[in-house]
A and B are shown apart, each in its own frame.
Chain A
Amino acid sequence: MKETKITVKNLNLFYGEKQALADISIDIYSQRVTAFIGPSGCGKSTFLRVINRMNDLIDDVRITGKIQIDGIDIYDKNLDVVNLRKRIGMVFQKSNLFPKTIYENLIFGPRINGIKDRKVLDEIAEKTLIQAALWEEVKDRLDDPALSLSGGQQQRLCIARALAVEPQIILMDEPASALDPISTAKIEELIDELKKNYTIVIVTHNMQQAARVSDYTAFFYLGRLIEYDKTSRIFTNPSNRQTEDYVTGRFG
């Protein structure tokens, strides 16, 4: 039973005169992990940032086409981008925790949403840390600086922080590219666990990772979506030759 969460139709994105994304149409499914793969500069990260409108922060970006989440056009003039971003969590390539304590990082989102009750905040902190499989490791040191954690823990704390605003979609931009294999495995386990409740989109350079964690894979090349299918099919029997060349490591 798959439901469509995000629908994209004929999306084009321009940085000034330069076209970065061309004619992209894709359906992303709820409670599935969708991986975006492709060589550097192919537009997969740019596309990821279209989904929570992070590109708004860059001057001179123009977007045409349609993107709907649950049937709502997210580039509608009346849409509140702040509310949109609260429904979409984002995890970045490198951990970008604030130089505050672990606890303060966790409750940053809820607090700017106006939650002040310490008890509620405590509950959110505990719940999200358990979800991010970090509770056992940090429960006794919530008031320690977040930056005192190891790289892998920091990245899982970033995920926990994103979960704290109760999003429906989680976007991950190469979340494990700066981590060692053990930390990476933990992140991947976590993604597997989270997909029961969330729609997850992950950009990755690591083909094995895409094969391991995702249900669907989209291959981007030069700003175009070349092929999009079930992960098993993309990696064993792709219909496009460019996709095959890329996933088998012949170029990229």
Chain B
Amino acid sequence: MSILLKKHKDISGFIFINVTRLLFLMLILMLAFILIKIIVEGFSVISWEFISSEPKNNMTEGGIFPAIFGTVAVTLLMILFALPLGIFSAIYLNEYAKDSVFTRIIRTAVNNLAGVPSIVFGLFGLGFFILFVGKNLDEVLQTGLLFGQPALIWASSTLAVLVLPIIIVSTLEALNSVPKSHRDASYGLGATKWQTIKNVVLPQARPGILTGTILAISRGAGETAPVLFLGAAFFLPNLPIVDLCFGDYCIPMINPGEQFMYLAYHIFILATQSSNPTKTMPLQYGSTLVLITLTFLLNITAIIFRYRFRKILGRL
């Protein structure tokens, strides 16, 4: 019986666990350092005026409202383009397309697309949306130079292409995780394929799709490189807004043809292109804090939706 009392020494296991622990700790510390630094330095800058006014005095003073507005506008339009396209592509790939060499190539391509550097997407957006789509629209519609120039809509479209793989991949996973037995139940009750997808598969896939949306928002709102070519302005005090009027009644709408300021790009400008980088340091911290908070708020909205859907599904 003595062998039962002898403790087994698992040295490699011990080392492995502690190395992982250490690495985890390092990661948390780095993240905490960045966040704390930004919050501490940025918090004192943030005021209602900082959030609600435009930059002043050669961008060394004043607020960042146009950049906040631009970021929200671009990100919202991006999701508007990317979400339906991504979801329907994923539904087609997962539910309708037969497994063939062709669909496998598409799947691989989608996965690889997620790894392409964002500057490449920027160049793609410039080449495709502005120089090809825009210029040709101008020529066909005889509009001079209306579509063929950097604008909010092209920035959103390009970011939509950039986040499309994220949405497709997470939707595919969500669709795949719906149990076959639930589809069988639906077919057994006489549902057609589309009824099954609409009533059984999609409701269960919603939390997963929203996870993809959350990731996409964070990615899109934080990108700098793609918007560089596509309409992000150095300094633009007026907002990309147009009044849509029905008789006397007007509603302000996002103007997709305007250029815009973008938070991530604004921070880059303040840090590298400013006439006085030291003086703008607090503004940089403030803007960064606002960008992080904004992404967080957009995320929270999606997370609240996901929580609700999960609750409906009884998964909580």
Q: Which A residues have a C-beta under 8 Å from some C-beta of B?
A: 52, 54, 57, 59, 82-83, 85-86, 89-90, 92, 94, 96-100, 108-109, 112-113, 145, 147-148, 158, 161-162, 165
Contact = CB atoms under 8 A, between A and B. Distances in A.
Interface stretch (B43-51, B178-186, B296-304): B178-186
A80 B199 CA distance: 21
A112 B195 contact: yes
A94 B189 CA distance: 16
B315 interface: yes
B188 A85 contact: yes
**Among A90, A96, A148, which residue has the most Cβ atoms of chain B within 10 A?**
A96
B200 interface: yes
14 contacts: A54-B188, A57-B184, A59-B98, A82-B191, A83-B190, A85-B189, A96-B181, A96-B185, A99-B315, A108-B186, A108-B199, A147-B314, A148-B314, A165-B190
A85 B185 contact: no
Nearest to B192: A82
B313 interface: yes
Contacts of A94: 181
A86 B314 contact: no
Given A98-B182, A99-B314, A54 B187 contact: yes
Contacts of A113: 190
Given A54-B184, A98-B182, A112 B190 contact: yes
A92 B189 contact: no
Contacts of B158: none
Interface in B169-185: 179, 181-185
B203 to A, nearest CB: 8
A96 B314 contact: no
A109 B187 contact: no
Contacts of B204: 99
Contacts of B312: 99-100
A-B residue pairs, 8 tightest by C-beta = A86-B190, A90-B188, A96-B181, A109-B189, A145-B314, A99-B313, A96-B185, A85-B190
B191 A112 contact: yes
B314 A161 contact: no
A157 to B, nearest CB: 11
Nearest to B313: A99
B192 to A, nearest CB: 6
Interface string B100-134: 00000000000000000000000000000000000
Contacts of A148: 314
Nearest to A146: B314
B184 A92 contact: yes
A98 B185 contact: yes
A112 B200 CA distance: 11
A202 to B, nearest CB: 15
A83 B314 CA distance: 31
A98 B200 CA distance: 7
A191 B181 CA distance: 22
A94 B186 CA distance: 14
Contacts of B179: 96
A85 B199 contact: no
A85 B185 CA distance: 11
Contacts of A90: 184, 188
Given A96-B182, A147-B314, A112 B187 contact: no
B190 A92 contact: no
Contacts of A54: 184, 187-188
A199 B184 CA distance: 21
Nearest to B183: A57
Given A89-B189, A112-B199, A158-B185, 12 more contacts: A54-B188, A57-B183, A59-B98, A82-B192, A85-B190, A94-B181, A108-B189, A108-B199, A109-B190, A112-B190, A148-B314, A162-B188
Interface in B45-80: none
Contacts of B199: 108, 112
A19 to B, nearest CB: 24
B94 to A, nearest CB: 15
A98 B314 CA distance: 10
Contacts of B183: 57
Nearest to B189: A109
Contacts of B186: 98, 108
B314 to A, nearest CB: 4
A40 to B, nearest CB: 19
Contacts of A92: 181, 184-185, 188
A22 B191 CA distance: 30
A57 B203 CA distance: 21
Interface string B277-316: 0000000000000000000000000000000000011110
Contacts of B187: 54, 57, 85
A54 B179 CA distance: 16
B288 to A, nearest CB: 41
A5 B214 CA distance: 54
Given A112-B199, A145-B314, A89 B188 contact: yes
A123 B182 CA distance: 25
Contacts of B191: 82, 108-109, 112
Nearest to A53: B187
